[in-house]
């Protein structure tokens, strides 16, 4: 097994140390595998955003360590520029930050600021646009404000991809998108992960989104890592999730209720197809 | 003639709304038609869900119902009062209270009970009356034990309860919730929808809930779906949920349990068509 791309060891973060201090993260140790899609889930105020802001050096640990791509982010003299080139971050509602006159200029913003050579900027921008399903021939010259909400969000994603990050952090990436735009966004994220091997870290409280994308989940509650595992494993523990203010996706909840009523449904059932195949067998004698 | 039909609480007659926007400085103004010839009446005590994806016109429709916007053409009557009549707008907003998406934008005071009392205090009502109304409102939404807290310490769901209490203190006849659950986590989301249903049932409040989530509409008395400013589907949930193909074309996400039930029905399993919630479906499948 290869070295995890992100490691936190006993990470604690305290805002405003002193009498009014708030412990935002409490002794978090976790590893994120290279090339995975890991979701950090928890209710508002559980510490999700604080945690991921350590991954690109926006925050530094009060105690403990965070190691990203072999780089200790808390070490004296750490090169934050290099770190941030490795770790791209897409904030909530990123389309609100689009401001240039053309899609090209918006996507080129970060590489230009990094003084990347002109031809290389062009190459990266075109590639990033193609990657997110906005073919550059069609979209580069357009104004970002003429695009649909889903397309604007993908322009913002291309802006992050133009820095060729090895880790992509997304904060509630699909909130506010309608069903179609959401599906499209997921499709291009999957492609980025599979074709370019980018590690994705997702911050979310939308369990349907998490179920669609993530292969590993970390559950935060009041600044502590209370559970981690595969979606199948975590969503089979709906009762526990409720204690932390979370809920399994509706389909997992339905299956849990059926189990409560005495139907033998394996804990590992997760997808619609699996549930359909299973129930079809179980209800066989009731067919009319 | 049936009195309720003769006198709808909200009556939209041929309502259109056009707004202008400037895309960038120096560019020409663009006229956007947000609503086109809407006819819709809402009965007293009804629970109506208005569904639609982004840009369908649903928020514009909500704002027309309490005179935050007035129609470009057509009329909106609230309890018989025309929203375009400026002398009526205050009375209309007292009858129709509105809750918005972002709870933080709706909080004014630094202590929960002061926040609930805010609008009453501004109206200069006697202290004893304010106390009574505030108690009643906090009780109704279940935040009495949070009365001395600072609103910033509340969770998102608690903040929305607070916003609802602030509206209830004015004793409205109708609550308009415009995507009031969109920024909440899933459990708080369900709590707020359950609370709106309770207020509808127990206090007889008319509720108009605006959302893009089908699963939040399952328990409504009636659903109206908007697309590009027009009403494209209308009816009780049982009818609306029977055409999943159409809902998909309207860019609404179908909840997985509903999809599963549809596939099982197609395969010949008898499941009651009115089983639209996870709980009801579980009962149907297990019995």
pLDDT band at residue A24, thresholds of 50, 70 and 90? Answer: very high
Beta bridge partners of B42: B10
User: Which pTM does this prediction carry?
Assistant: 0.85
What proportion of chain B, given as a percentage, has pLDDT over 90? Answer: 74
Residue B262 resides in a domain? no
First to last CA, chain B: 44
Q: For position A206, what pLDDT does the model report?
A: 82
Q: For position B24, what pLDDT does the model report?
A: 60
Our CA angle for B267, B268, B270, nearest 5°, is 130
Q: For position B2, what pLDDT does the model report?
A: 44
Phi first, then psi: give them for residue B3, nearest 5 degrees: -60, -40
Residue B64 resides in a domain? yes
Residue B253 resides in a domain? no
Q: In what order do the strands lie in the sheet with B230-235?
A: B96-99, B174-178, B206-211, B47-51, B222-227, B230-235
Evaluate whether B221 touches B48 at the Cβ level (below 8 Å): yes
Residue A105 at interface with chain B, using a CB cutoff of 8 Å:
no
Give chain A positions within 8 Å (CB) of B281: 254
Q: A178 and B257: CB-CB below 8 Å? A: no
Phi first, then psi: give them for residue A57, nearest 5 degrees: 75, 10
Residue B194 resides in a domain? yes
Residue B20 resides in a domain? no
For the stretch B126-134, contacts whose Cβ atoms lie closer than 8 Å and that sit 24 or more positions apart, written own/partner, are B133/B169, B133/B171, B134/B165, B134/B169
Closest CA of chain B from A223, distance in Å: 15
For the stretch B241-248, contacts whose Cβ atoms lie closer than 8 Å and that sit 24 or more positions apart, written own/partner, are B241/B214, B241/B276, B242/B273, B247/B214, B248/A179
pLDDT tens string A214-271: 999 999 999 999 999 999 889 988 888 988 988 888 999 999 999 988 888 888 888 8
pLDDT over 60 at B1, yes or no: no
Residue B1 resides in a domain? no
> Quick check: helix, strand or coil at residue A214?
coil
Q: What residue in A sits closest to B261 (Cα-Cα)?
A: A276
Q: For position B25, what pLDDT does the model report?
A: 61
> Quick check: helix, strand or coil at residue B92?
helix
pLDDT tens string B162-179: 999 999 999 999 999 999
Identify which of A44, A249, A263 has the shortest CB distance to residue B256.
A249
DSSP structure class, residue B66: T
Average pLDDT over residues B169-197: 91
Residue A280 at interface with chain B, using a CB cutoff of 8 Å:
yes
Identify which of A146, A179, A272 has the shortest CB distance to residue B252.
A179
Centre a 10 Å sphere on the Cβ of residue B210 and count the other Cβ atoms it contains. 27
What proportion of chain A, given as a percentage, has pLDDT over 70? Answer: 99
Average pLDDT over residues A158-187: 90
Q: For position A284, what pLDDT does the model report?
A: 80
The total number of structural domains in chain B stands at 1
ipTM over 0.95 threshold: no
Residue A158 tokens read as 């291309």
Bridge-based pairing state of the strands B73-78 and B10-22: antiparallel
Average pLDDT over residues A127-132: 95
Q: What residue in B sits closest to A255 (Cα-Cα)?
A: B282
Give chain B positions within 8 Å (CB) of A261: 282-283, 286
List of residues 6+ apart from A151 with CB closer than 8 A: A134, A139
Is the dihedral angle over the CA atoms B56, B59, B63, B65 positive or is it negative? positive
pLDDT over 60 at B274, yes or no: yes
Nearest to A255 by CA among A233, A238, A241: A238
Residue B49 resides in a domain? yes
Bridge-based pairing state of the strands B96-99 and A87-90: unpaired
Beta bridge partners of B31: B20
List of residues 6+ apart from B70 with CB closer than 8 A: B64, B76, B83, B84
**DSSP character string of A260-287:** HTT----TT--SHHHHHHHHHHHTGGG-
pLDDT over 50 at B148, yes or no: yes
Give chain A positions within 8 Å (CB) of B279: 257
Q: What is the CA A122 to chain-centroid distance, rounded? A: 27
Bridge-based pairing state of the strands A37-41 and A63-68: unpaired
Mean pLDDT score of chain B, rounded to an integer? 91
For residue B109, what is the domain's CATH number?
3.40.50.300
**DSSP character string of B247-284:** HHHTTPPPPHHHHHHHHHHHTT----TT--SHHHHHHH
Residue B259 tokens read as 């999809």
Nearest to A132 by CA among A115, A112, A107: A107
Q: For position A1, what pLDDT does the model report?
A: 55
Residue B149 resides in a domain? yes
Mutate to test the interface with B, among A98, A171, A205, A221 (most CBs of B within 10 A): A205
Identify which of B53, B253, B269 has the shortest CB distance to residue A286.
B269
* Residue B150 domain boundaries: 43-70+85-236
Bridge-based pairing state of the strands A22-32 and A37-41: unpaired
pLDDT tens string B230-257: 999 999 999 999 999 999 999 898 999 9
Q: What is the CA B167 to chain-centroid distance, rounded? A: 13
Phi first, then psi: give them for residue A30, nearest 5 degrees: -150, 165
Give chain B positions within 8 Å (CB) of A246: 185-187
Q: Please give the Cα distance from A280 to A285 (Å, whole number).
A: 10
Residue A101 tokens read as 């006159």
Helices A250-260 and B278-286, packing angle to 10 deg: 40
pLDDT over 80 at A169, yes or no: yes
**DSSP character string of A96-150:** GG--SSSHHHHHHHHHHHTT--HHHHHHHHHHHHHHTT--HHHHTTS-GGGS-HH
> Quick check: helix, strand or coil at residue A254?
helix
Centre a 10 Å sphere on the Cβ of residue A271 and count the other Cβ atoms it contains. 14
Give chain A positions within 8 Å (CB) of B252: 178-179
Q: Please give the Cα distance from A116 to A202 (Å, whole number).
A: 28
Evaluate whether A64 touches A72 at the Cβ level (below 8 Å): no
List of residues 6+ apart from A6 with CB closer than 8 A: A30, A31, A32, A55, A66, A67, A68, A69, A167, A199, A201
List of residues 6+ apart from A262 with CB closer than 8 A: B286
Q: What residue in A sits closest to B266 (Cα-Cα)?
A: A287
Residue A173 at interface with chain B, using a CB cutoff of 8 Å:
no
Q: Please give the Cα distance from B233 to A281 (Å, whole number).
A: 35
């Amino acid at each position: 097994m290869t070295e995890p791309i992100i490691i936190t060891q006993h990470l604690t973060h305290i805002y405003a140390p002193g009498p009014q201090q708030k412990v935002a993260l409490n002794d978090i140790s976790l590893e994120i595998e290279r090339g995975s899609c890991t979701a950090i889930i928890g209710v508002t105020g559980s510490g999700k955003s604080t945690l991921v802001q350590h991954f690109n050096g926006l925050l530094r640990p009060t105690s403990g360590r965070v190691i990203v791509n072999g780089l200790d982010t808390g070490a004296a003299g750490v090169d934050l520029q290099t770190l941030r080139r490795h770790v791209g971050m897409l904030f909530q509602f990123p389309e609100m930050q689009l401001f240039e006159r053309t899609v090209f200029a918006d996507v080129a913003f970060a590489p230009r600021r990094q003084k990347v050579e002109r031809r290389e900027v062009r190459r990266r921008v075109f590639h990033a646009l193609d990657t997110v399903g906005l073919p550059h021939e069609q979209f580069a010259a357009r104004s970002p404000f003429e695009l649909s909400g889903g397309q604007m969000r993908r322009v913002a994603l291309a802006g992050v991809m133009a820095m060729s990050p090895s880790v992509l952090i997304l904060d509630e990436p699909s909130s506010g998108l309608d069903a179609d735009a959401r599906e499209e966004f997921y499709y291009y994220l999957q492609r980025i992960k599979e074709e370019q091997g980018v590690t994705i870290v997702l911050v979310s409280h939308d369990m349907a989104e998490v179920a669609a994308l993530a292969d590993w989940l970390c559950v935060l509650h009041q600044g502590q890592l209370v559970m981690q595992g595969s979606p199948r494993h975590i969503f089979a523990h709906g009762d526990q999730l409720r204690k932390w203010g979370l809920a399994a996706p509706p389909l997992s909840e339905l299956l849990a209720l059926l189990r409560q009523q005495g139907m033998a449904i394996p804990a590992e059932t997760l997808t619609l197809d699996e549930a359909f195949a299973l129930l079809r067998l179980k209800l066989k004698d009731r067919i009319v | 003639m049936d009195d309720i039909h003769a006198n709808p609480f909200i009556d939209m007659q041929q309502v259109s709304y056009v707004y202008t926007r400037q895309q960038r400085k120096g560019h020409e103004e663009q006229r956007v038609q947000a609503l086109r010839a809407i006819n819709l009446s809402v009965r007293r005590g009804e629970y109506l869900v208005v569904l639609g994806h982004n840009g369908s016109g649903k928020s514009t429709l909500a704002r027309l119902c309490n005179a935050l916007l007035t129609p470009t053409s057509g009329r909106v009557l609230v309890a018989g009062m025309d929203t375009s009549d400026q002398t009526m707008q205050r009375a209309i907003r007292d009858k129709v209270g509105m809750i918005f998406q972002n709870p933080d934008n709706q909080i004014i005071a630094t202590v929960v009970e002061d926040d609930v009392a805010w609008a009453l205090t501004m109206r200069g009502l006697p202290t004893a009356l304010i106390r009574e109304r505030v108690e009643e409102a906090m009780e109704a939404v279940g935040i009495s034990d949070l009365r001395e807290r600072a609103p910033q310490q509340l969770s998102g769901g608690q903040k929305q309860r607070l916003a609802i209490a602030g509206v209830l203190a004015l004793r409205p006849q109708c609550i308009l919730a415009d995507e009031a659950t969109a920024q909440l986590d899933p459990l708080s989301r369900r709590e707020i929808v359950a609370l709106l249903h309770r207020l509808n049932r127990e206090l007889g409040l008319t509720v108009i809930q605006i959302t893009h989530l089908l699963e939040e509409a399952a328990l409504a008395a009636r659903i109206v779906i908007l697309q590009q400013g027009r009403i494209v589907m209308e009816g009780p949930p049982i009818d609306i949920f029977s055409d999943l193909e159409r809902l998909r074309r309207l860019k609404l996400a179908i909840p997985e349990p509903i999809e599963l039930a549809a596939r099982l029905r197609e395969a010949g399993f008898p499941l009651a068509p009115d089983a639209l919630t996870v709980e009801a479906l579980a009962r149907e499948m297990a019995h």
